[in-house]
Structure 1
Amino acid sequence: MHVRFINLARTTALAVTFFAVTIFAGTIISGGNANADSFDAFAEPVQTIHLSASEPGRIDEVGVKRGDHVRNDTIVMRLDSKVLEASREIARLEAESTTQIDSLNIEYEIKRNRHEQVLKLLGKGAVSREEARRSEADAKIAELNRDAAIEKQKLAALRLVEIDGRIEQRCVRGQVSGLVIDVLREPGEYVSTADPHVATVVVLDQLRCTFFVSTAVADLYRAGESVDVMMERTGASGERRVAGQVEYIAAVTQADSGRVRMDVLIENKDRQLRSGLRCRFDSPHTQISNAPAFENGRLKR
């Protein structure tokens, strides 16, 4: 009787222990609550470019509107550059003109030939050495004048390149292949150095979701790893599963929240996914990894 009572007590205690551990395991498996291993974020463009003017000026032309697709060489806006255009035309004419060089070259050839003739006459005693030195100096000066004109033409060509660069600086280009979502200036308005932002372009070929996960979850993933993300549907209730790739995992845990930043990229080449939708990341690695294990009806230590 006493033995049966002891066996019954042991069986009851084992059952209670197993039941309690099972509840504990289920709690861990579910993460303690429904959202313990579930993290929310919003899908954002992989790039958001705030296009800015590189120098102040009055806007002469706006080449895009909201919703336009641009490339990296698309002119979004152009600042007034009439003065620079006039200076460019002057520099172009100076760089292309050869009149002065041709005339000075002819003058140099004449004085060089004259100097050669004077040297021949000097050998015959027909002219003085002073006359020979003067003809040599005249030929040398003519040569230097020609070389100076050539250098002046080269400087004009360099000035033309400089002016072209300054005119290009007054053009705001798309910089990337993307979509214009905001245009902040109109023709005639002035752009200052204090507020150079003129338009915003986003790249939607990929979407980025920035999750802040627990340190335990962050340690389970590496950059480049494929993951699944749940994204809310547009025009219907519920979510859909989309493939993503871990882009970045912060090396530092935020002290105030105990969370780690993890960026996930979602391919969107066909532009079927909208930016701004809520996304959810469930970590499958942690759902059962911390559940207690049993061996021969006993909890393993």
Structure 2
Amino acid sequence: MAVAWLACGAGPVWANPYECLIEPNQTVEVRSSVEGVIEKVLVKRGDRVRAGQLLVQLESSAERSAVETARFRSEAGGRLAAAKNRFDYASKKQIRSQELHSQNFVSAQVRDEADAEKRISESELRDAQENIELARHEYRQAQDLLNRRMLRSPFNGVVMDRMLNPGDLAESGTGRKPIMKLAQVEPLRVEVVLPIAAYGKLKNGDSAEVMPEGLGGRYSAKVSVIDSVFDSASGTFGARLELPNTTGKLPAGIRCRVDFPGLQNLPAKGSGVKATPSK
């Protein structure tokens, strides 16, 4: 983008304004990590979305069946209950056999058989417990596979464009067509190019006031990035500000002016210097 910085003396309200551009904090192309037919697209261009909101659902009947099967197995407690009952019975039988053997009412063989029965029932109980735990892991895995077919918004933002519709094939991979494009508009970022004379007079966290072009109003922003690599051809460097936009009132992609209180005493350099396009 090409941004110019203006000279001092712009008036009593704007002591030392610089041209800037308000942009989305980030834009992302929503793609599927798995291939599948799109069953539902729940938003359209211009809609505002919240972080975690369901945007797209792929056809997933097989995955849902797998989730239900895995859930049933994870909750089935019949084998575990039977193993517990056998272990309780074998434990009591072992205790009685020990007592009877100490009184010479039963042989050592009967006592040993009771001990072996308890150990076997204990192993069966452990096996049943492990099977239940394994079923729970399989249920979580099935749920994760199903969730991969439900695409959610990574942030609060707005739908910039929708490229695919229900019935289209969503293909995985960066070279494939995205389903939609989202822009994060809370917060917004403000890009400005400043003269080298301003370097060192700003620091991260400094306050500034931004006036969007054509909308009016003054909005507080804070410096978040100061470039340390200059453009020698134009004698400028870039800076970025973070502009809160909790209400979503401010649009992105418009020009603006920004005033830095810390640069009010910066000497003027004629009518302004044009900056080279930033990368």
Do residues 242 (structure 1) and 223 (structure 2) align?
A: no
Specify the alignment match of 1:152 in structure 2: 131
Secondary structure at 1:105 match in 2: helix
Task: Work out the CA distance in 2 between the residues paired with 1:219 and 1:116.
Answer: 84
Change in Cα spacing, 1:175 to 1:276, as seen in structure 2 (3 Å) is: same
Displacement of 1:29: 7.3
What pairs with 1:258-273 in structure 2 (closer than 5 Å)?
Answer: 258-273=235-250
CA contact (8 A) 2:32 2:170 kept: no
Task: Work out the CA distance in 2 between the residues paired with 1:190 and 1:270.
Answer: 33
Do residues 99 (structure 1) and 78 (structure 2) align?
A: yes
Question: If each structure's helix is expressed as a fraction of its own residues, which one has the higher value?
Answer: 1
Please tell me the residue identity of whatever aligns with 1:226.
S
Task: Work out the CA distance in 2 between the residues paired with 1:243 and 1:114.
Answer: 81
Q: Which runs of 5+ in 1 are unaligned?
A: 1-27, 31-36, 235-239, 291-301
Do residues 285 (structure 1) and 262 (structure 2) align?
A: no
Specify the alignment match of 1:215 in structure 2: 196
Q: CA RMSD in A?
A: 3.2
What pairs with 1:104-123 in structure 2 (closer than 5 Å)?
Answer: 104-123=83-102
CA contact (8 A) 1:66 1:182 kept: yes
Please tell me the residue identity of whatever aligns with 1:155.
L
Of residues 274, 289, 293 in structure 1, which corresponds to 2:251? Answer: 274
Specify the alignment match of 2:3 in structure 1: none
Displacement of 1:74: 0.8
CA contact (8 A) 1:56 1:193 kept: no
The TM-score normalised by the length of structure 2 is 0.74
Aligned length: 252
CA contact (8 A) 1:101 1:146 kept: yes
Task: Work out the CA distance in 2 between the residues paired with 1:243 and 1:117.
Answer: 83
Please tell me the residue identity of whatever aligns with 1:242.
R
CA contact (8 A) 2:31 2:172 kept: no
Do residues 167 (structure 1) and 146 (structure 2) align?
A: yes
Displacement of 1:143: 1.9
**What is the CA deviation profile of residues 210-235 of structure 1, one whole-angstrom value per residue up to 9, with x for unaligned ones?**
1222211334333333334454316x
Do residues 60 (structure 1) and 45 (structure 2) align?
A: no
CA contact (8 A) 1:59 1:191 kept: no
Secondary structure at 1:203 match in 2: strand
The TM-score normalised by the length of structure 1 is 0.69
Change in Cα spacing, 1:222 to 1:112, as seen in structure 2 (3 Å) is: closer
Secondary structure at 1:227 match in 2: strand
Change in Cα spacing, 1:122 to 1:244, as seen in structure 2 (3 Å) is: closer
Change in Cα spacing, 1:207 to 1:104, as seen in structure 2 (3 Å) is: closer
**What is the CA deviation profile of residues 116-146 of structure 1, one whole-angstrom value per residue up to 9, with x for unaligned ones?**
4444554455554334323321221012112
Q: Which runs of 5+ in 2 are unaligned?
A: 1-6, 10-15, 271-279
Task: Work out the CA distance in 1 between the residues paired with 2:81 and 2:203.
Answer: 70
Secondary structure at 1:156 match in 2: helix
Task: Work out the CA distance in 2 between the residues paired with 1:169 and 1:89.
Answer: 16
Task: Work out the CA distance in 2 between the residues paired with 1:247 and 1:57.
Answer: 40
Shifted more, 144-153 versus 274-283: the winner is 274-283
Identity in percent: 23
Of residues 252, 255, 265 in structure 1, which corresponds to 2:229? Answer: 252
Please tell me the residue identity of whatever aligns with 2:198.
V
Specify the alignment match of 2:276 in structure 1: none
Secondary structure at 2:74 match in 1: helix
Change in Cα spacing, 1:114 to 1:43, as seen in structure 2 (3 Å) is: closer
Of residues 204, 216, 224 in structure 1, which corresponds to 2:205? Answer: 224
CA contact (8 A) 2:87 2:122 kept: yes
Change in Cα spacing, 1:29 to 1:150, as seen in structure 2 (3 Å) is: closer
Displacement of 1:284: 4.7
Displacement of 1:38: 7.2
Secondary structure at 1:176 match in 2: coil
